[in-house]
Amino acid sequence: MAFEGLSEKLQAISKKIRGKTRITEEDLTEMLREVKLALLEADVNYKVVKDFIAIIKEKGLGQNVLDSLTPGEQVIKIVKDEMVELLGGTESRINFTPNPPTVIMLVGLQGSGKTTTAGKLANLIRKQGKKPLLVACDVYRPAAIKQLQVVGAQLSIPVYSNENTKNVLQIAKEAVNEAITKLNDVIILDTAGRLHIDEELMVELKNIKANVKPHEILLVVDSMTGQDAVNVGDTFNQNLGIDGIILTKLDGDTRGGAALSVKKVTGRPIKFVGVGEKLSEIEVFHPDRMVSRILGMGDILSIIEKAEEAFDEKEAVELEKKLQKNKFDLDDYLSQIKQMKKMGSFSSILKMIPGFSALKDVEIDDKEFDKIEAIICSMTKKEKQDTNLLNANRRKRIATGSGTTVQDINRFINSYEQTQKLMKNPKALSSFANKLNLK
């Protein structure tokens, strides 16, 4: 997971210094040395690290300690604030033109994930009430047009292509006319990439920019390429003049240095991040929330937003009534699992809860929830309503139907019955929440 190593180190440093009632210059120097090493190991650009450390040292030695904080906490606050600033300070969204259609051109190297990102971005924009049109401008890569058409079909978003020409500028101009005719208010151009930056690529992109005049040029960068991502960002910005960056594969096993460097080096904001393979797994980039996650402070706002999007309000009201009447059954349990899965992986959600990101022994395998779905779907209506009916023969039948074992059935039913007891006992539930520091 991105930032995992950096997060562990910074949280350890925070814990060491947080309780100090007095901080000397020697303490601060030692702490900043560890922060510097942690950032460099995370593949953050050296110049960025150097400037970052210098600012923290200056503020750490020169700033009066707030009355409400210990000196250690004040230093951690400085680190947090400066890291937020390093990532852009505030979120930066797409500037939609008041005279549609808004044209967004996605650029980047081959393999950065442009085509998938085009679909993800179109899906996200549609949720804002827009009518996007995807445009296949990559006429070189084999099956690139087909890939975009497949993505569009999965999302029920229209795709414009013209396979009778290799003239990318012509395709882009035709797409604008198509959007005006079909009342699409956002156009997303999926342009071609190369394995490396070359003059031919830049000439083509500059030609589209000069003639189609896109309102936003967004660079799609693979965050797993580390320092190369920063170099690519800088080169594209100098040659083309980008308006923002989309970091892909931020859920992968990457050190996260690209995210912490690319804004500073290019001077352009990170606008979106890809956080998974699903076409729904793209997020508006919030610098403050990302830093909170890195420092183990959680990200409750993002959880709330994900929940609001995933959970059906009417179902929530009905569920509350059932809980009050102790009528919560396995159908309701299954419904909650399905809605939770819309929010992303359970592990990623858990890491957004303050305190949980530091827990190493908490491992959640999302495949276990697929197993639970199969078990519940193999039960009869009566069995879902009353687990007391599940004798040995019924459990064998359910195991066969769900492709699981009787032991799997037993473990799940025991867990479910424990959950039911907890829900029926408000005092126990409150005590459990207190233990997890959720209250």
Among 240, 275, 295, where does a domain finish?
Answer: 295
pLDDT, position 271: 94
Could you tell me the strand order of the sheet in which 282-284 lies?
A: 159-160, 132-137, 186-191, 102-107, 216-222, 244-248, 270-274, 282-284
224 and 202 in one domain?
A: yes
- Give me the phi and psi of 148, to 5 degrees please: -65, -35
Cβ neighbours of residue 135 under 8 Å, at least 6 residues apart?
159, 160, 161, 171, 172, 175, 187, 188, 189, 190
93 belongs to a structural domain: no
Per-residue tens of pLDDT for the chain, all 439 residues: 456 666 677 777 777 776 666 667 787 888 888 888 888 888 888 888 899 999 888 887 765 544 445 666 777 788 888 888 888 888 888 989 999 999 999 999 988 899 999 999 999 999 999 999 999 999 988 899 999 999 999 999 999 999 899 999 999 999 999 999 999 999 999 999 888 888 888 999 999 999 999 999 999 998 877 778 888 888 899 999 999 999 998 776 556 677 778 888 888 999 999 988 889 889 899 888 888 777 766 544 555 555 555 556 666 566 556 555 566 778 877 877 777 666 666 556 655 554 444 444 445 566 777 888 899 999 999 998 888 899 999 999 999 999 999 999 998 888 887 777 666 655 544 454 444 444 3
pLDDT, position 157: 97
Among 57, 86, 115, where does a domain finish?
Answer: 86
237 and 106 in one domain?
A: yes
pLDDT, position 204: 92
Spatial contact of 113 and 220, defined as CB atoms under 8 Å apart: yes
263 and 350 in one domain?
A: no
pLDDT, position 439: 38
Task: Please list the residues that pair with 217 across neighbouring strands.
Answer: 105
Q: What residues make up the domain containing 172?
A: 102-295
349 and 262 in one domain?
A: no
378 and 289 in one domain?
A: no
| Residues written for the chain | 439
183 and 75 in one domain?
A: no
pLDDT, position 318: 64
Please give the model's pTM, rounded to 2 decimal places: 0.69
pLDDT, position 363: 52
DSSP state letter for 220: E
